[in-house]
Amino acid sequence: MVDDTRKSGWEHFPHQADIGIRGLGTTMEEAFEQAAVALTAVITDPRKVQPEQKINISCSGSDDELLFVDWLNCLLYEMAIRKCLFGRFEVSIEQDSRGPAKLLKAAAWGQKTDVSKHRPTVEVKAATYTALSVRKQENGRWVAQCVVDV
């Protein structure tokens, strides 16, 4: 899934009971977007999800890693209550002018879950703090990853 000639992409990594998701990008925002695609890929093939509706998400976190987990958990919440899957994401992150926290604003495009089309594999219960990391690699590429509980 990750093409080293490009700087962005996503992949899964193994965990004994659950599954790890990893997004890579030229910016932290892009890594967060790609990790969200990786999250959808735990459930279905993201290419099968049509961008029929757009939703807005915002959240905050006291550091990059907590912000990342919160972003994924906000997405899981929206997926659960809307019965939707999302395949495309746009993320922007800025410093909270009122304090040390970071603020995330995002748009997600997707559609209602269609069992016959999407054949959802599992429901993701939560993004966790296990194997959690948000960092810029030496080659300048951003990596955002954690294990999700299924």
Partner 1 sequence: MELKKLKKHSDYKWIIEPFGKMHVPAIIYADETLIRAMDEKVYEQATNVAALPGIVKASYVMPDAHWGYGFPIGGVAAFDADKGGVVSAGGVGFDIACGVRTLRTGLNIDDIQPVKTRLADLLAHKIPAGLGSTGKLRLNADRMDDMLAGGARWAVENGYGTSRDLTHIEEQGCTADAKPQYVSEQAKKRQRDEVGTLGSGNHYLEVQQITEIFDDKIAQIYGMEKDQILISIHCGSRGLGHQIGTDFLKKMVTAASSFGIELPERELACAPIKSTVGEQYLGAMRAGINCALANRQVLTHLLREAFAQLFPKAELILLYDVSHNTCKLEEHKINGQTKQLFVHRKGATRSFGPGHAGIPAKFKNAGQPVIIGGTMGTASYILAGTDESMSLSFGSSCHGAGRSMSRHQATRQWQGRDIVNSLASRGILVRSPSYRGVAEEAPGAYKDVSAVVEAAHQANLSRKVARMEPLVCIKG
Decide if residue 55 touches partner 1 (CB under 8 A).
no
132 near partner 1 (CB under 8 A):
yes
| Total binding residues toward partner 1, as defined by CB under 8 A | 35
Please, which residues have CB within 8 angstroms of residue 115's CB and are 6 or more apart in sequence? none
Kindly tell me which residue out of 81, 137, 138, 140 binds partner 1, with binding defined by CB under 8 A. 81
- Binding of partner 1 at residue 137 (CB under 8 A)? no
C-alpha Rg value of the chain to the nearest Å: 14
The binder of partner 1 chosen from 47, 54, 56, 77 (CB under 8 A): 77
Q: Near partner 1 by CB under 8 A, which window of 23-31, 48-56, 65-73, 136-144?
A: 65-73
How far apart, in whole angstroms, are the C-alpha atoms of residue 52 and residue 50? 6
126-127 and 142-149 as β-strands: parallel, antiparallel, unpaired? Answer: antiparallel
Quick one: DSSP state of residue 62? S
Tokens of 83: 């019965």
Rule CB under 8 A: choose which of 1, 6, 13, 51 binds partner 1: 13
Q: Which 3 state secondary structure label does DSSP give 104?
A: strand
- Told to check if 29 binds partner 1 by CB under 8 A, we report no
Spatial contact of 5 and 32, defined as CB atoms under 8 Å apart: no
Where on the chain is the footprint of partner 1 (CB under 8 A)?
12-19, 43, 62, 66, 69-70, 73, 76-77, 80-81, 83, 113, 115, 119-123, 125-130, 132, 149-150
